[in-house]
């Protein structure tokens, strides 16, 4: 049986993907979630709809490095190895301000830094041909574009920046590219890719949007629009179909097809700078 870890698996893309993955009884899914009660309800719903009881709930708050380390310790204690890690949990910039208990900007920590630490700690406890999927967004390249301000300004900003969500998703792509380079240099068979589900106005992530916002996105930004059904289908296919296991360092765009991300996202200098800073932030340097 293959073990899949999905962060933020109690709703939205994570939930729908988990449900589709465990439609195959050969898979077990660990819902790694901040809210255990919501995760338990998600588990019960998935078991009821699929008949596959191989669903486990484990507490994980990616905004807390302490929580990340505790999750990994619990996973190691189980004696299992992870076949797939889906770094999916995330928050928007709307209404999410302030710093974490570790002193980092909240969106940066939740969407990126917690996943960086989680991946680093889990790597020795993954199967030889494991797969990692970092959920990004086409908003890593928002309308009007962004410049790279450097990791330190993202981790410890001098003032709140409305572009912080875009930066966090750009970080996920930098992380994908740099981790892929290092895995290849070490001769590892583990793969890592970024996945863009598109702007899905139907999920809880898009607060206050609903059908009105969905219509606006479909009309004004059709190239960014994503459907929860088709994006979760694609991510589940990437997870379960071994044909994709040899692909690494790519950006999947709302499907099982690869695409080019923004020109800025291919900066090796920025990716390396972010990596080194993140190692320091996570006390891994």
CA of 279: how far to CAs of 118, 120, 261, in Å? Answer: 12, 9, 25
Q: Label residue 204 by pLDDT band (50, 70, 90).
A: very low
> Tokens representing 223?
């190239």
Lowest mean pLDDT among 65-74, 87-96, 131-140: 87-96
Query: For the chain, how many structural domains are there in total?
Result: 1
Of the residues 27, 112, 165, 174, only one is catalytic, namely: 165
Question: pLDDT tens across 126-181, in order?
Answer: 999 999 999 999 999 999 999 999 999 999 999 998 999 999 999 999 999 999 99
Lowest mean pLDDT among 85-99, 113-127, 270-284: 85-99
Cβ atoms of residues 88 and 14 within 8 Å: yes
| Residue 272 belongs to domain with CATH number | 3.40.50.720
Q: Label residue 207 by pLDDT band (50, 70, 90).
A: very low
pLDDT of the residue at 94: 83
Residue ranges making up the domain that contains 241:
2-281
Report whether pLDDT(206) > 60: no
Total residue count of the chain as it appears in this document:
285
CA distance 242 to 20: 16
Which of 102, 100, 84 lies closest to 5, judged by CA? 84
Cβ atoms of residues 26 and 1 within 8 Å: yes
Q: What mean pLDDT is predicted for residues 94-108?
A: 94
SS3 139: helix
Q: What mean pLDDT is predicted for residues 24-30?
A: 95
Percent of the chain at pLDDT above 90?
Answer: 86
Q: Label residue 221 by pLDDT band (50, 70, 90).
A: low
Report whether pLDDT(69) > 70: yes
pLDDT of the residue at 199: 78
**Catalytic annotation on 165?**
yes
What lies within 8 Å, CB to CB, of 11 at 6+ separation is 38, 42, 203, 204
Lowest mean pLDDT among 39-43, 80-84, 138-142, 223-227: 223-227
DSSP E strands: which ranges in 99-183? 126-135
Q: What mean pLDDT is predicted for residues 185-189?
A: 98
Q: What angle, 0 to 180 degrees and rounded to 10, lies between the N-to-C axes of helices 268-281 and 164-185? A: 90
Q: What is the mean pLDDT of the chain?
A: 93
Report whether pLDDT(82) > 50: yes
* pTM of the predicted structure, to 2 decimals: 0.94
Which of 100, 176, 165 lies closest to 133, judged by CA? 176
Percent of the chain at pLDDT above 70?
Answer: 91
Report whether pLDDT(216) > 90: no
Q: What mean pLDDT is predicted for residues 217-231?
A: 72
């Amino acid at each position: 049986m293959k073990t899949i870890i999905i962060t933020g698996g109690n709703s939205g893309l994570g939930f729908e993907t988990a449900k589709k993955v465990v439609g195959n009884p050969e898979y077990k899914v660990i819902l790694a979630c901040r809210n255990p009660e919501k995760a338990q309800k998600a588990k019960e719903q998935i078991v009821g709809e699929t008949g596959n009881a191989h669903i486990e709930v484990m507490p994980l708050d990616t905004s807390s490095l302490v929580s990340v380390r505790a999750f990994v310790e619990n996973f190691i204690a189980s004696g299992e190895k992870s076949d797939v890690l889906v770094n999916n949990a995330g928050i928007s910039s709307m209404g999410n301000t302030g710093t974490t208990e570790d002193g980092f900007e909240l969106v940066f920590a939740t969407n990126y830094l917690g996943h960086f630490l989680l991946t680093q700690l889990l790597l020795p406890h993954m199967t030889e041909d494991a797969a990692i999927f970092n959920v990004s967004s086409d908003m890593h390249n928002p309308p009007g574009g962004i410049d790279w301000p450097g990791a330190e300004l993202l981790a410890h900003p001098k003032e709140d920046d409305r572009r912080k969500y875009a930066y966090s998703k750009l970080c996920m792509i930098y992380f994908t590219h740099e981790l892929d380079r290092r895995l290849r240099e070490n001769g590892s068979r583990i793969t890592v890719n970024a996945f863009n589900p598109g702007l899905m106005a139907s999920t809880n992530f898009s607060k206050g949007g609903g059908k009105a916002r969905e219509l606006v996105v479909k009309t004004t930004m059709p190239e960014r629009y994503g459907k929860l059904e088709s994006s979760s289908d694609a991510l589940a296919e990437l997870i379960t179909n071994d044909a994709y296991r040899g692909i690494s360092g790519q950006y999947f765009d709302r499907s099982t097809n690869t695409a080019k991300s923004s020109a800025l996202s291919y900066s090796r200098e920025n990716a390396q700078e972010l990596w080194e800073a993140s190692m320091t932030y996570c006390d891994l340097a």
